[in-house]
Structure formats: structure tokens, C-alpha cells
Amino acid sequence: MLLALVLISACLHALWNALLRLEADKDRALVAAVFVATLIAAAVAIARWLGGGTVPFPTPISALWALAAGVLEWLYFASLARALEAGPLGTVYTISRGGSVLLVWPLSIALYDEALTVASLAGSAVVFAGLVLAGLGTGQRRATHASALAWAIACATSIAGYHLAYKAALRSGGSTSAVFALALALATVINLVRVGGDGRRVVIEFLRTRTLRMLLMGIVCGGSFLILMEALAGGGAGYVLTLRNTSVLFATAMAFAIGERPSRAQIAGAAFVAAGAALMA
């Protein structure tokens, strides 16, 4: 069951990134889609609370960790939009997801007592090799290449951070959907403040004139993360994130579907990251 949840979440996550890559104004489109995802997550949390009596935050620390995850979600969304503006989907996705594995796994071992094995060490080496291949195979101008890599690395750092914060919130007793809803609500508020008055008007226009598109993106994004939260509740942070990052194969396939042509090095890099993630998990 855990494996199925992680793989479904991985596929939806890659699709969400591919849809965002197609947007001309990625930053504002992302804010609009995440706003929709926030409403969906809040509705699920309220329904579960009223239907089953599940207390959203039984301890103050669970709410604090959810808020910390929200700040890191905001950093993830902001850096993701910048990375996808500067670089192709395959490269950005592979580096951001693979890089997060290298950060989360040792931290989850130190913080949450997850097991350190020969397979996890070998998998780390394979993931690293995949990141190098993906980074070298962009075929972009040097300045654009450097910008895409920098934002993808920032994205990887924030991904690692919010996974660990989510796990801490769940270990403190927080309800899966409530933790995600609170985190996403905070990220949305920060994003709406960040884009300013002109940006908020664009976001509102997107929601008004491109309702179905924003609804689709919000459902895919929110669904991916809600399923991830259920998986995190049942498995270790390092294990779940690592296995979920086999989604780089889905992202590479979707890059072809939206008209990009990943190089052989990028395809090999994605395969290495997926194989290393499976080995670590």
C-alpha cells in the first residue's frame, strides 16, 4: 500500500511540474494553482475532522512544525518557478528531486533513526552520478545553465526541508490533511504578499479567465501532496522521499510529451537518479 501511494504521488507530482512548465507566466500561474490546492486541502481536512473526529493539531508543536513546512513550501514554489523559467523540465526536475534525496537521507538517519545500510550508501553514489549527468547535459548557454542549476539546487534544499518538517509535524500527532492545509495556507499567504498588488491582480485574472486550467493544476498539485502526507505518516521521511523521486522518470517522459527533447546525458541522469533512489529505498 505504501509503495502504491508513493508512486501515485510521484506521477502526479511530475505532471504538476509539466503543466507549470507550459505556462508563460510561471510565477503567477503557480500562485493561482497553489491557492486552489490550498482550498482543496482545507476542505479535505475539515471533512475528515467533522466526519471522523480526528483532532487536526493535538499538540502545539505539531502546528509549529506545519508552519515551518509552510515557509519551506513557499521557498520550494518560488524557486521551482524560477528554475523552470531558466531551464528545461527534465534537468530541473532531476536535479531538484535527486538533490533533495542526498540531503534528506542522512538527516532522517540522524533525526528519526532511519537505518543506514550498504544499499543506501551505494544508492547515494548512483544518485550523485545521475545529478552530474543531468547537470552536464542541458545543452544551454552557460549563463542560463548556471541560473537553472542554482535555482534547482535551491529547490532541492527546500524540498528536503519541508519533508523533514512534515515528518516532525506528523510525529507530533498532527493530522495528515490538516498539517498540509496549514502549511499550504501559509505558503499561499506569503506568495500573495510577495507578488505585490499587480501580481495579485494577475492571479485573480488567471482564476477568473482560466478557471479550468488553474483548477486542474490545483487538483494535481494538491492531490500529489495529500497522498504524500499519507505515505509519510506510514513510512520514514528518507524512505518515502527517496522512493518518490523515481518520479524523475515520469518527468523525463512528460518532457518529451510537452515538446522538449532531453539529451542522452539528461535521460541517463534521470535513470541513474531513479535507480539510486530505488536502491536507497
- Segments making up each domain of the chain, as ranges: 2-280
In tens, the pLDDT along 99-141 reads: 887 787 778 777 777 766 777 777 777 777 776 776 665 555 5
**What average pLDDT does the segment 160-165 reach?**
90
Q: Considering only 28-42, 97-111, 114-128, 194-208, which range has the smallest mean pLDDT? A: 114-128
d(CA 79, CA 43): 27
CA atoms 75, 279, 231, 266: torsion sign:
positive
pLDDT at 144: 52
In terms of pTM, does the model score above 0.85?
A: no
| Tens-place pLDDT, residues 232-274 | 887 776 677 667 777 777 888 888 888 888 778 778 877 887 7
102 contacts 195 by C-beta, under 8 angstroms = no
pLDDT, average across residues 32-38: 94
Digit-coded pLDDT (tens) for 71-98: 999 999 889 888 888 888 877 877 887 7
Inform me whether the pLDDT recorded for 34 exceeds 60: yes
Compute the average pLDDT of residues 140-156. Answer: 75
Euclidean distance between the first and final Cα of the chain, in Å?
A: 15
Q: What is the pLDDT of residue 137?
A: 56
d(CA 254, CA 140): 19
Using alpha carbons, select from 8, 6, 44, 4 the residue that is nearest to residue 177: 44
Q: What is the mean pLDDT of the chain?
A: 84
What contacts 243, CB < 8 A, 6 or more positions away?
Answer: 3, 6, 7, 10, 277, 278, 281
Share of the chain above pLDDT 90, in %: 38
**Model confidence over 216-228: pLDDT tens digits?**
999 999 999 899 8
